[in-house]
């Protein structure tokens, strides 16, 4: 069967089971948009290519399936660089297709030419510049294989215009050998000696902690984690990337560690004698000052990526493995720490002394952002997916929402990309139309990518957006307040400009505003009653609120600052 390269590209995506592409056309990718009309694949036309990338990420984080985005060459390609970098930091499986100028024009500074494979070399797991139409099926199959196996990540396919216009004889690779990836070995057999060494360390431990990272979700290991944790009775912490991997309602869960982590989670790590890292990477936002991190702990590090071992912290046992496989092996090996009653008694003491708190909601005046999140959570359907922007509101969302299952937290961790929230929520809703999707956003973040609500309205994607409008780039304001003597430099945004309600309405969404407790409850109820169009609520929150606990950048986790009301207990 003879096909054009463009037809072959679309047919290859169909072969990979793609149901949705997020994208925006232009000259170099035009040939591919023609056969798309006849395809079963849904295309979602974004208003900015950054939106396409973050939507694909949200789709991937909510479903576990790779997200797909397609854009044109030059500025279309550079506009999607931020989401590619974001997905790279968070190991999110993406396949991004970019148009390119014709092969004969490459290197001539042709109209809308840019070296996108060069630009994204350091922020993709791999990328391809396709040279002939015949290669397209192999590149697509390989791209999906690379994006989703081993440590997942973004893969980019750059397709010159003449390649999509020329003819090829249709074929599709059926075995991995045909992908032509002689240097790619994502899985290695489990090292029995390392398993035995890990079991020996666990069996001696008196103060162990399970340090659960995003790799646990990537490994789909929530079930194995629950079984292992319950059998061994060990305390569990889940990083920002792992929220939902272990139920927040579980009594063994201490919550999130790190810069804005729970006091008990941070301190349990500091005092533990064995830290078992499950798909976590000792990020500086978790470790604080590395030399002072978990000083008494032996380290067992489970990771599919061997380059993570000893990168930041010297490990005692490295287990190169998918987390589910490793936990099963540790179970089979008889891993069982000593009696942990004393350890738990200490931990319970920290939990009682330093729970998560915020000041009482004032009956007049501005809303407490934490209270708004708790109110939304209390009224949310079970299984609601939460996406967030980046800033204070993101930390409060992670702290105050109770996550019970994988795929319910959609967040930008490693890169901290403002503007992630709205498009990621849209992508999540496309992937999980059966679920309610809330975006907890900041006023600063919202202004970066809000135009995608036009996309959501026109495509019929009814997400709900809560803007915690503190009129500030709040997280930066918090740092200036605490570390720059309250010298506020370029952080004020205004609560009223833009008018978020009118803006929402202009984009075909329902816009609501809440200034008082009563308005807050009414607005949430109203939003919950609307299921056909997107809703945006402008919650007026107190700019003076700060995120606690907090470990200052570069400080030891021992110097954690708790909420002012708890300082006397410290």
Partner 1 sequence: MSPEPFLGDVAHTPVRHHILSVLVENKAGVLARIAGLFARRGFNIYSLAVAPAESHARFSRVTIVVDAESAPLEQIMGQLDKLVNVVEINDLAPVDAVERELLLATIETDVANRTSLLDTLANAGAAIIDVDPGAVTVMLAGTPSACDALERALEEFARVELHRTGRVALPRLGRAATA
Ligand X SMILES: Cc1ncc(C[n+]2csc(CCOP(=O)(O)OP(=O)(O)O)c2C)c(N)n1
Distances (CA, A) of 262 to 29, 268, 356, 425: 48, 10, 7, 26
User: Rule CB under 6 A: is residue 235 a binding residue for ligand X?
Assistant: no
Query: Long-range contact list for 559-567, CB < 8 A, 24+ apart?
Result: 560/263, 560/266, 560/267, 562/263, 562/354, 563/357, 563/358, 565/357, 565/359, 566/353, 566/354, 566/357
> Could you give the count of Cα atoms lying within 13 Å of 291 in the half-sphere of its Cβ?
2
Residue 390 near which of partner 1, ligand X, Mg ion, none (CB within 5-8 Å, type-dependent): ligand X
CB 340 within 8 A of CB 430: no
Residue 53 binding ligand X, by CB under 6 A = no
Q: Is 405 a catalytic residue?
A: no
The interface partner of residue 306, options being partner 1, Mg ion, ligand X, none and the CB cut-off 5 to 8 Å by kind, is: partner 1
Minimum distance between the CB of residue 438 and ligand X, rounded to whole angstroms?
Answer: 15
Least Cβ distance, residue 421 to ligand X (angstroms): 8
Residues that bind partner 1 (CB under 8 A): 117-118, 121-122, 125-126, 129, 146, 181-184, 305-311
> Is 111 known to be catalytic?
yes
| Position 421 contacts Mg ion (CB under 5 A) | no
Dist CA 538 CA 500 (whole Å):
6
Residue labelled with tokens 């290695």: 188
Residues 407-426 that bind ligand X (CB under 6 A): 416-418
**x/- track of binding to Mg ion for residues 460-479 (CB under 5 A):** ----------x-x-x-----
Q: 95-118 b/e with 16+ CB inside 10 Å = b?
A: bbbbbbbbbebeeeebebbbebbe
Which of 15, 112, 134, 165 is flagged as catalytic? 112
Question: Which of the following is catalytic: 395, 475, 507, 520?
Answer: 475
391 binding ligand X? (CB under 6 A): yes
Task: Decide if 161 is catalytic.
Answer: yes
Q: Which tokens in the block code for residue 462?
A: 């009814």
The answer to whether 474 contacts ligand X (rule: CB under 6 A) is yes
475 touches, from partner 1, ligand X, Mg ion, none (C-beta below 5 to 8 Å by class):
ligand X
Interface residue with ligand X among 390, 397, 456, 560 (CB under 6 A) is: 390
Q: Which is nearer to partner 1, 310 or 518 (CB)?
A: 310
Residue 182 touches which member of partner 1, Mg ion, ligand X, none, C-beta under 5-8 Å by kind: partner 1
Site membership for ligand X, residue 31 (CB under 6 A)? no
Among 168, 335, 425, 468, interactor with ligand X by CB under 6 A: 468
**Residue 79 near ligand X by CB under 6 A:** no
Using the minimum distance from each CB to partner 1, give the nearer residue, 182 or 189. 182
Q: Which of 111, 167, 482, 505 is catalytic?
A: 111
Which candidate in 161, 429, 464, 546 is catalytic? 161
Query: How far is it, in rounded angstroms, from Cα 144 to Cα 121?
Result: 17
The residue from 16, 49, 113, 452 that is catalytic is: 49
Closest C-alpha among 268, 229, 265 to residue 245: 229
As measured in angstroms, the least distance from the Cβ of 156 to partner 1 is: 12
- Residue 252 is a catalytic residue: no
In the bound state with ligand X, the residue whose beta carbon lies nearer, of 430 and 520, is 520
Nearest CA among 548, 381, 388, 356 for reference residue 467:
388
Q: What are 159's strand-pairing partners?
A: 99
Nearer to ligand X, 343 or 472 (CB): 472
Q: Smallest distance from the beta carbon of 397 to ligand X, in angstroms? A: 10
- For ligand X (CB under 6 A), the number of binding residues is 19
Beta strand residue intervals within 377-430, DSSP E: 385-388, 409-410
- Written as six digits, the tokens of 372 are 């708004």
By CB under 6 A, residue 443 contacts ligand X: yes
User: Among the candidate windows 8-16, 21-29, 444-452, 484-492, which touches Mg ion by CB under 5 A?
Assistant: 444-452
Q: Pick between residue 11 and residue 54 the one whose CB is nearest to ligand X.
A: 54
181 binds, among Mg ion, ligand X, partner 1, none (CB under 5 to 8 A by kind): partner 1
At 9 the three-state DSSP class reads helix
Strand partners, 387: 410, 439
Tell me if residue 201 falls in helix, strand or coil.
helix
**Phi, psi for residue 209 in degrees, rounded to 5:** -140, 135
- What single-letter DSSP state applies at residue 566? G
Return the range that interacts with ligand X (CB under 6 A); candidates 72-80, 168-176, 442-450, 508-516.
442-450
3-state secondary structure 98-109: EEECCHHHCCCC
DSSP letter for 544, please.
Answer: T
Q: Which does 503 bind (CB under 5 to 8 A by kind): ligand X, Mg ion, partner 1, none?
A: none
**Nearest to partner 1 of 307, 529 (CB atom):** 307
Q: In this structure, what token pair is assigned to residue 330?
A: 């540790």
**Token reading at 511:** 């816009």
Q: Kindly state whether residue 372 participates in binding ligand X, applying the rule CB under 6 A.
A: no
Left (φ > 0), alpha (ψ -120 to 50) or beta: where does 434 sit? alpha
Edge-to-edge strand ranges of the sheet holding 236-238: 253-255, 236-238, 208-212, 274-278, 298-303, 317-320
Residue nearer to partner 1 on the CB measure, 183 or 554: 183
**Nearest approach, Cβ of residue 395 and ligand X (Å):** 8
Dihedral of the CA atoms 306, 308, 312, 317 (nearest 10)?
-50
Pick one of 470, 542, 557, 562: the residue that binds ligand X (CB under 6 A).
470
Smallest distance from ligand X to CB 417, Å: 6
Report if residue 442 touches Mg ion, rule: CB under 5 A.
yes
Residues 325-344 that bind ligand X (CB under 6 A): none
Residues contacting 418, CB < 8 A, separation 6+: 389, 390, 391, 442, 444, 445, 448
Closer Cβ to ligand X, 437 or 448, answer by number: 448
Active site residue 464: no
- Asked if residue 443 binds Mg ion (CB under 5 A), the reply is yes
Helix (H) or strand (E) holding 94: strand 94-100
Question: Parallel, antiparallel, or unpaired: how do β-strands 464-469 and 510-514 relate?
Answer: unpaired
CB 235 within 8 A of CB 347: yes
Binding site for ligand X (CB under 6 A): 389-393, 416-418, 442-445, 468, 470, 472-476
Catalytic residues: 49, 111-112, 161, 475
Binding site for Mg ion (CB under 5 A): 442-444, 470, 472, 474
């Amino acid at each position: 069967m003879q096909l054009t390269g463009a037809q072959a590209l679309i047919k290859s995506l169909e072969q990979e089971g793609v149901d949705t592409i997020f994208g925006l056309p232009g000259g170099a990718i035009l040939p591919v948009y023609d056969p798309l009309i006849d395809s079963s694949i849904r295309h979602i036309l974004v208003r900015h290519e950054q939106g396409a990338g973050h939507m694909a990420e949200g789709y991937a984080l909510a479903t576990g399936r790779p997200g797909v985005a397609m854009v044109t060459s030059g500025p279309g390609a550079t506009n999607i660089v931020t989401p590619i970098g974001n997905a790279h930091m968070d190991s999110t499986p993406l396949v991004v297709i970019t148009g390119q100028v014709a092969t004969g024009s490459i290197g001539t500074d042709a109209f809308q030419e840019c070296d996108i494979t060069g630009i994204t070399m350091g922020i993709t797991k791999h990328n391809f510049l396709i040279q002939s139409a015949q290669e397209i099926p192999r590149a697509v199959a390989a791209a999906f294989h690379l994006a989703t196996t081993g440590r997942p990540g973004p893969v980019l396919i750059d397709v010159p215009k003449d390649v999509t216009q020329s003819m090829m004889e249709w074929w599709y690779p059926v075995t991995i050998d045909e992908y032509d990836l002689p240097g790619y070995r994502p899985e290695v057999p489990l090292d029995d000696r390392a398993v035995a060494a890990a079991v020996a360390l666990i069996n001696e431990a008196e103060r162990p902690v399970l340090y659960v990272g995003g790799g646990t979700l990537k490994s789909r290991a929530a079930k194995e984690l629950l079984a292992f944790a319950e059998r061994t009775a060990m305390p569990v912490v889940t990083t920002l990337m792992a929220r939902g991997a272990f139920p927040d309602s579980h009594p063994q869960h201490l919550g999130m560690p790190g810069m804005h982590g729970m006091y008990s989670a941070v301190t349990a790590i500091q005092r533990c004698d064995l830290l078992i890292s499950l798909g976590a990477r000792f990020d500086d936002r978790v470790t604080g000052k590395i030399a002072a991190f978990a000083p008494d702990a032996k380290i067992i590090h489970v990771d599919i990526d061997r380059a993570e071992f000893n990168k930041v912290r010297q490990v005692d046992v490295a287990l190169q493995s998918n987390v589910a496989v490793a936990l099963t092996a540790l179970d089979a090996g008889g891993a069982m720490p000593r009696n942990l009653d004393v350890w738990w008694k200490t931990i319970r003491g920290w939990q009682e002394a330093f729970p998560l708190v915020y000041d009482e909601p004032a009956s007049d005046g501005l809303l407490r952002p934490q209270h708004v999140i708790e109110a939304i959570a209390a009224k949310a359907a079970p299984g609601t997916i939460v996406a967030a922007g980046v800033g204070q509101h993101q930390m409060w969302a992670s702290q105050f929402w109770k996550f019970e299952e994988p795929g319910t937290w959609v967040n930008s961790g490693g890169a901290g990309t403002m503007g992630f929230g709205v498009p990621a929520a849209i992508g999540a809703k496309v992937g999980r139309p059966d679920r309610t999707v809330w975006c907890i956003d900041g006023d600063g973040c919202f202004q970066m990518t809000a135009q995608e609500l036009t996309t959501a309205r026109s495509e019929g994607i009814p997400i709900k957006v809560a803007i915690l409008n503190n009129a500030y780039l709040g997280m930066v304001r918090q740092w200036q307040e605490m570390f720059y003597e309250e010298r506020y430099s370029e952080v004020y945004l205004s609560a009223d400009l833009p008018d978020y309600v009118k803006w929402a309405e202009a984009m075909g969404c329902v816009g609501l505003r809440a200034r008082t407790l009563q308005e807050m409850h009414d607005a949430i109820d109203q939003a919950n009653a609307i299921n056909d169009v997107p809703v945006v609520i402008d919650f007026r929150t107190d700019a003076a609120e700060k995120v606690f606990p907090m470990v200052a950048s570069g400080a030891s986790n021992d110097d954690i600052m708790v909420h002012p009301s708890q300082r006397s207990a410290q």
